[in-house]
Amino acid sequence: MPLSDAQRVRIEPLLPDRTPKRDGRWRNHREVIDAIAFKFQTGTQWVHLPEKYGNWQGPQPAANVGRRRHLGTRLHRANWVVSVDSTILRAHQHAAGAVKGAPAGERDDHAIGRSRGGLTTKLRPSADGNRRPLAFVLTAGQPGDAPAFTGVMTQLRVPRQHGRLRTGPDMVLADKAYSLRAIREHLRRRGVQAVIAVRADQKAHRR
């Protein structure tokens, strides 16, 4: 997807100066960024970039220069996207019959519950736009995803170059399991854009 005008203005201060230097200059920031994005979105080889992006030997060295200067990390910090989801983990057969109660700091149910698949634990991770894990919460396997959403978000603690830890992303991505009004309002109050799929029954109610 090509850069929009608003995106280009936002990242312009992070891009290299176009005057000639040791690494050479980029012929056109917008064209090069669009070419790099197309390459990594589609998985194509540099030599097979569409002609509209010009000579592939422009974007490919620019991407290498960007890696050396950690440009991708700097661009990512300009727009912090967090994905939230969950997955089921089967408990070992010896988990049955565990001693009741839990040590300090551990859940009373040991994050083990009984669901359709037997004894299970649900792992609820969050990850950034580069698929790097940020935090996770363990719960018993039977509860739904939505009730644990706030707990996952409160675990976010990302270091900044200066100052306090960052706890609020710019955007949250999630599937239909998180499509609740309470979650959308929770994010809206914190100035976070919600990109959450809408369930079919919710779409019907909106008509």
Question: Which secondary structure element, helix H or strand E, spans residue 9, and what is its range?
Answer: helix 5-11
Q: pLDDT per residue over 104-122, tens digit each?
A: 666 667 788 887 778 888 9
In the chain, the percentage of residues whose pLDDT exceeds 90 is 20
Mean pLDDT within 139-167: 86
Strand spans (E) along the chain: 81-84, 87-90, 113-115, 118-128, 133-140, 171-174, 193-196
Tell me: domain 81-206, CATH 3.30.420, correct? yes
* pLDDT given at position 78: 47
User: Does residue 36 or residue 63 have the better pLDDT?
Assistant: 36
Between strands 81-84 and 171-174, the pairing is: parallel
User: Does residue 108 or residue 181 have the better pLDDT?
Assistant: 181
Mean pLDDT within 35-59: 71
* pLDDT given at position 20: 55
Token representation of residue 178: 């998180």
Phi–psi pair at 194, nearest 5 degrees: -100, 120
Out of 55-59, 65-69, 150-154, 164-168, the most confident range is 150-154
